[in-house]
Chain A
């Protein structure tokens, strides 16, 4: 794959940004405070790798402004921390986007049977908290009589519980982050902790999120979720293949959301929900590739996006197969 090339691209971007930063302020307030803090820590004899309070973590810069060396140090620190916590070798990936890729997603709602296999496939892949429970995907159930006229979200029931799905007379609409081209959540964030990557994925720097939850209020799709307490993931179920902007374990007090399995898709793999779906209703690919399955379905099928009227321009297309 083009992993090394992607990394190189990221590094180039990082270096440019770093150079720009250094031009504008040779000794910034943040750098000064960082140096002072680390110095003070050394003076009073704080261990550098203390778990309880990590000075380096506290003074860590925004992910897009870190130099390659700083990224390397940060990743090393995080891997050490997670590996110790979960008792296995955890890797944190920072693979950047490819220039020729803009991701798109398709969901065939004429096939979805509401079995929720995607929900739990996602939870396992993306290290979502089991208690309190966080689900990035919610499957809404509608009455066929109602949904045939209009999809009214107020009538969708995510808590349905049947012996068998699909239940007679019901249809289903799974909903998660729509990876909008014009994301309201990004505009709402006061700290730029969330942004849209060049390949279209809206990501969060969990170390930069202050937990104000403005983005949750701004998202028209209910796709963002907050860690009200320390998330709990059983060590044996924790997925050790993580990405810095994706499924690495989140701390208490930050917002999280679907990243189209950035840790998989940046390496060419399908997202976990696509692989979990037993009826093959979920499609994923590159919108810039005319031969991709997502382009085929956009050109040959009837597609629609949710809440098109509010101009968020989702890259998540529902279609009738």
Chain B
């Protein structure tokens, strides 16, 4: 039995790797680091303040829906009041259905500046820029959104486009998209629906 790390007696002598290999690797990697390929990107969306979220110069960012005047600015009621950090059933705001992971109010709403939101590092975020907060957990959606594959785009496929930030489509308190009443079903064609009459469109042979 050999001790750990020791060499078998008859093993060929290990050749030491020439040092120039290590030097070569460093030399080769240096331009890559310098070019930014391996370097940490600066001003990416995960850092605040970041560059504008708008994907390109031609894009119009549609504003988030206005917040109800009855409840905003929050400071009207909460001014000077110390925030109670304890999770609890609220007496107010019963219209809010909170179904957003395991989050609670003060995970996003700021404890001190009551009209603002905050990131996990306590840096403040304006209500209108709530997307900065969303990207902290949902960073994977940013490239898709920037490319126009997540979220709705309107306008032109070639030319000016309209984009929406997260809260235009998702209720931040309950972000899952809500069901809608579907538009009426097509009128079944004559073979399936005697009341449709002979003039109805033929679908019986549209065997899919």
Contact = CB atoms under 8 A, between A and B. Distances in A.
Interface of A: 1, 106, 108, 111, 113-117, 119-120, 132-135, 138, 153-154, 156, 158-166, 175, 216-217, 220-222, 225-226, 228-229, 265, 268-270, 274-275, 277-280, 283-286, 292-293, 296-297, 300-301, 321
Given A132-B201, A165-B181, A228-B199, A1 B159 contact: yes
A162 B164 CA distance: 29
A115 to B, nearest CB: 4
Interface stretch (B1-9, B96-104, B144-152): B144-152
Contacts of B181: 115, 163-165
Contacts of A154: 208
A263 to B, nearest CB: 14
Q: What band does the interface of chain B fall in when counting residues whose beta carbon is under 8 Å from A?
A: 35 or more
Interface in B149-208: 149-159, 164, 169, 177, 179-188, 196-197, 199-203, 205-208
Contact of B206 (A166, A216, A279): A216
Contacts of A156: 208
Contact of A228 (B152, B157, B158, B202): B202
Given A117-B180, A164-B180, A165-B181, 19 more contacts: A1-B159, A115-B183, A116-B182, A116-B184, A132-B196, A156-B208, A159-B185, A165-B180, A165-B182, A216-B202, A228-B202, A265-B157, A269-B155, A270-B155, A279-B152, A296-B147, A296-B149, A300-B147, A301-B149
A113 B179 CA distance: 7
Contacts, number: 133
B171 to A, nearest CB: 14
Contact of B186 (A135, A163, A175, A292): A135
Contact of B179 (A119, A166, A226, A296): A166
When A and B form their complex, which 10 residue pairs have the shortest distance between CB atoms, in order from nearest? A280-B152, A153-B208, A222-B206, A116-B183, A293-B148, A164-B179, A296-B147, A268-B158, A165-B182, A115-B180
Contacts of B149: 106, 108, 283, 293, 296-297, 300-301, 321
A4 B148 CA distance: 29
Given A222-B203, A229-B199, A283-B148, A270 B182 contact: no
A159 B186 CA distance: 6
Interface in B130-153: 143-144, 147-153
B2 to A, nearest CB: 51
B205 A115 contact: no
A278 B185 contact: no
Contacts of B184: 116, 161
Contacts of A279: 152, 169, 177
A222 B206 CA distance: 5
Interface of B: 143-144, 147-159, 164, 169, 177, 179-188, 196-197, 199-203, 205-208
11 contacts: A117-B180, A153-B208, A164-B182, A165-B181, A216-B205, A225-B201, A269-B157, A274-B153, A279-B152, A293-B153, A296-B144
Contacts of A297: 147, 149
B128 to A, nearest CB: 21
A117 B183 contact: yes
A169 to B, nearest CB: 13
A292 B207 CA distance: 34
B179 A274 contact: no
B129 to A, nearest CB: 21
Nearest to B146: A296
A308 to B, nearest CB: 15
A306 B187 CA distance: 25
Nearest to A154: B208
B153 A158 contact: no
Nearest to A172: B182
A118 to B, nearest CB: 9
A162 B202 contact: no
Contacts of A222: 203, 206-208
B182 A162 contact: yes
A273 B169 CA distance: 17
A159 B200 CA distance: 15
A296 B148 contact: yes
B201 A277 contact: no
B60 to A, nearest CB: 14
Given A159-B188, A293-B148, A133 B153 contact: no
A162 B169 CA distance: 22
A280 B180 contact: no
Contacts of B157: 265, 268-270, 284-286, 292-293
Contacts of A269: 155-157
Nearest to B200: A132
B156 A160 contact: no
Contacts of A166: 179
B159 A132 contact: no
